[in-house]
Homo-oligomer: A and B are copies of this chain.
Amino acid sequence: MKVRVLISFKDSVLDPQGQTVKNALHSLGYNFVKDVRQGKVFELELEGISEEEAKKIIPEISDKVLANPIIEKFTWEILQ
């Protein structure tokens, strides 16, 4: 089973990397880019657990290991 976890800063947290990318895009003439937020993505390959178990364990893993819940939020989906 393949799972994708997307992690991004909470909306209230400044994202200097995203700002830098936005500025770089503007300096190249891409002025239609109004905002950029950067985050992380993890693609996990799981074996030997059911989808039901995965639905319980993925948020647990995301919260404990992949994300920093103080400043980050996460979403996840099962890809296949």
Contacts and interface: CB of A to CB of B under 8 A. Distances in A.
A38 B45 CA distance: 12
B49 A32 contact: yes
Interface in A31-51: 32-49
Copies of this chain held together in the complex = 2
A39 B36 contact: no
Nearest to A30: B61
Contacts of A33: 44-46, 61
B40 A38 contact: yes
A38 B66 CA distance: 10
Interface of A: 6, 8, 18, 21, 24-25, 28, 30, 32-49, 57, 61, 64-66
